[in-house]
Structure 1
Amino acid sequence: MRELLHRVRPPWRRPRRLVLVLSALVVTSGVAGGWLLLRGDEPAAAAATTATVSTQTLEQTVTATGTVAAQTTEDLSFDVSGTVTRVYVEPGDTVKKGQRLARVDDDVLQAELDAARSALDAAETAQSQDVSDGASDEQLAADEASVLAAESSLTEAQDAVDDAVLRSTIAGTVTDVGIEIGDSAGSGSSGQPSAGSTSTSGDTTTGTITVVSTGHFVVDATVSSSDVEKVEKGLQAQITVSGIDDTVYGTVAEVGLVAETDSTGAAAFPVTIAVTGERDDLFAGTSADLAIVISRRTDVLTVDSRALRTDGDTTYVEKVTDSTTGATERVDVETGEASGMVTEVTSGLAEGDVVQVPGFSGPGGSGGDEEMQQFQQQMQERMQNGGGFPGGGQGGFPGGGQ
């Protein structure tokens, strides 16, 4: 019985050996992958490409972010006192320049106009009578002054009657109506309830009707204090607006002189960009990115920036001398400013020259597959001989763990 028990192994030992073998294989694969990525051998490179030296227009820009807004916003209110009797518009209405928006009661204004006409008639009659009677020069001068004053009063009274109708000063869209029938409008009252009185929603003297221009827009933005000196009125701006694929163009219309504080607490200066032309695809409140062109040079000789290499303080390229074989020769160059993916070349190359652009380098050099196979074989031999991983104990993990 003892011999039989001795010959039969406990069932839990076989799975334990299987788990250990599988764990070793997993760790071996992981170490091999890490060795491949981190070893210091010469990296493998993808095939090189070529680029042709050409002339381009180089631009230097100042970038900024902003918000689209209507070019003109008018908050219109009555210039005369009176009670609002009519409101002709509501938010969303499209209006023309000069179109009436609201009206106040003009009974008092009409009475003042009639009185001004009567005063002018009286002044003219008195002047005519004094002329007929041969009055003194002093009297005639006084009569002339009275007539002029009466004419001025009549003009003001007529303007007041005209102002009883509030009219739009621009063509656009009504965005807000802050006036209701029954409101007291004009500057004849302070707009504050007197002591002991109660203010009501229908009693206001500060109500306005807001009209914004349509089709014409600006972008309100800010530029950093380090860039503001480069920006001046009239410069072109390239605008990228959210939701619009095509580039929108504009010009710098105004550069603020007083700094503001941006979201990071740094100083920034306001800049207004007038969008070129009439647009029906822009909407106020949309965010926009700006590239303000501060310099532009045409016919600049350029090369793909990736083709440039350095050797100490020297910049050079590998110029293709034989397109069939791909043979190249080193050519030292002098460079100027960079723009995007190209760099200005001031000497060493000519338009039409072809240069080599190095391919992308990645881990693993020539002979890497063979070295990897050798590494894996060594690891397998160590496991079969009961050995450990590099730097590890017998049969264990790195550092001697079991």
Structure 2
Amino acid sequence: MIHVKRVSYLALGALLLLSAAGCQRNEEAGTGTDATDYTVARGNLTVDVSASGNLAFASKEDLAFDMAGTVEDVFVDDGDTVAEGQVVATLDTADWENQLRSLRISLLSAQSSLKQARYALDELKSGSRTSITGDVVVRDCCDDEDIELQEMQVEQAEMRLEDAETRLEEHLAQNPEVLAPFDGFVTKVNAEGGDEVMKGSIAVTIADPDRFEVGILVSENDISQIVEGMRATVTVDALSITLPAEVTYVAPTATISSGVVNYEVTIEVATLEDYAAQVRQQTPAMAATLEGVQLRDGLSVTVTLIVAERTNVLLVPNSAINTAGGRAFVTVVKEGSAEERREVTTGVSNWQFTEILAGLTEGEAIRSGATAGGAGLPFAQGGHPGGVVMMPGGGPRG
């Protein structure tokens, strides 16, 4: 996948003033240099990372049998709609019910054995016992070893009861019915009546048709800027619609192929229903265009991860910024084509424009070119000190 950084012009008209109002060759001013003048203007700047991918179901689950047995029936086919809690398949329950009866009998037996063992221990400790006829027989003394042996029998009876309860709970948890965990539709049926299946065998696969995600690869140069919760957009190429989205996962480890280091990033796409409701409030006419639109698994998309945004800020071309001694300067064109070297404070930048935080005002003219800056300290063009700059293809650059 190819990843690029680009600028989005949310106020294109304002940005065009950068070249339209003052774009001229210095030959006209008599300087004889191949420089260009620009007028400082306000605009909106977006720095982002873009990648291509494909839509995939965000909620997709394989529904498996909880136990081994014979499939009695499968109640759905490929493409069928299912509701949460609906039975989609079931096993023959004859063997399961027989085992259930056996386990319940074992539980009753364990409960009875424990009751008898505790009763016998109480009799030993009290020094008396009750005969079959109901007569109480009092013993002269009690044997400590007998009491200890009976206490051990009580412990064993308690363990047998606990084991019987556990086996019954586990059996009851093995539901012979396979239930749909959420509303959705069947993407694949893997079993049919009469099949012998093992525990964990997949009966059907279902998915939520309204929830989608996209998995992309982000290069090692850009991954430091990507965090979970970051805002994004997903453009569906075939449908020409752009949906809001959000980063939900950033892999902590790299995927390395042929020496190229990338990181997996997952983006969850807003549902068409939620997006239509949002658009309906803002632009009712646009909401009408979403009617009948259907997202599908596998559709090609372009993902744009929003790294930074600035609204209504001063912008200048990168070529107009020069650096010297770790500071940023621009050449301001004064009346009569006089030049003034002025220090500025820069903000967010991309491959073409830089935000100016201080040092310039809207409407001032600046000059860019190989010899811009006039005599004095030598300049390195295109530098951006004075703030954190999001440079194309890499992390922050001071």
Determine if the TM-score, normalized by the shorter chain, exceeds 0.5.
yes
Q: Which amino acid aligns with 1:79?
A: D
| 2:360 corresponds to | 349
Query: Which residue identity is paired with 1:71?
Result: A
Distance 1:306 1:153, change over 3 A: closer
- Unpaired segments of 5 or more residues in structure 1? 1-41, 188-204, 322-326, 359-402
Q: 1:243 to 1:52 in 2, by over 3 A?
A: farther
Inter-partner Cα distance in structure 1 for 2:96 and 2:177: 12
1:256 to 224, 237, 251: 251
**Distance in 1 between the 2:337 and 2:358 partners?**
18
Match of 2:331 in 1: 316
Which residue of structure 2 aligns with residue 153 of structure 1?
Answer: 167
Structure 1 residue 115: deviation in Å? 0.3
Q: Is the 8 A contact 1:250 1:274 kept in 2?
A: yes
The residue identity in structure 2 corresponding to 1:353 is G
Q: SS at the partner of 1:143? A: helix
Question: What's the secondary structure of 1:181's corresponding residue?
Answer: coil
Residue of structure 2 aligned with 1:60, choices 47, 52, 61:
47
Cα–Cα, structure 1 residues 151 and 346, in superposed 2: closer, same or farther, change >3 Å? closer
Give the one of 263, 267, 274 matched to 1:269.
263
Q: How many angstroms apart in 2 are the aligned matches of 1:148 and 1:292?
A: 55
1:110-151 per-position Cα deviation (integer Å, ceiling 9, x unaligned): 100000111111112222233344364333332222222211
Tell me if the contact between 2:213 and 2:266 (Cα under 8 Å) persists in the aligned partners: yes
Please state if 1:118 is matched with 2:113: no
**Does 2:230 align with 1:242?**
no
Give 1:159's aligned amino acid.
Answer: A
User: Contact 1:116–1:153 at 8 Å: present in 2 too?
Assistant: yes
Deviation at residue 307 of structure 1 after TM alignment:
10
**Cα deviation 1:78-109 (Å, max 9, x = unaligned):** 12111111011111112122221111111111
**8 A Cα contact 1:176 1:209, kept in partner:** yes
Is the partner of 1:237 in helix, strand or coil? strand
Separation of aligned partners in 2, 1:309 and 1:118: 87
Between structures 1 and 2, the one with greater strand share: 2
Letter in 2 for 1:293: I
SS, match of residue 250 in structure 1: strand
Deviation of residue 243 (structure 1)?
A: 3.1
Partners of 2:331 and 2:366 in 1: CA distance: 11
Task: Report whether the alignment pairs 1:170 with 2:158.
Answer: no
Q: Which position in structure 2 is the counterpart of 1:101? A: 88
1:291 alignment counterpart: 304
Q: Which amino acid aligns with 2:154?
A: L
**Matched residue SS, 2:88:** strand
When normalised by structure 1's length, the TM-score is 0.60
- One-letter amino acid matched to 1:168: A
TM-score for both structures, normalised by structure 2: 0.61
Structure 2 match to 1:392: none
Contact kept, 8 Å, 1:318 with 1:328, in 2: the verdict is yes
Q: Which residue of 2 aligns with 1:193?
A: none
Identity fraction in percent? 27
Aligned equivalents of 1:340, 1:175: Cα separation in 2: 44
The aligned amino acid for 1:89 is: V
* Secondary structure, counterpart of 2:263 in structure 1: strand
Unaligned runs of 5+ in 2: 1-26, 29-35, 124-149, 274-292, 369-398
Q: Which amino acid aligns with 1:92?
A: G
Q: 1:307 to 1:221 in 2, by over 3 A?
A: closer
CA distance in 2 between partners of 1:222 and 1:181 (Å) = 42
Preserved CA contact (<8 Å) 2:186 2:206: yes
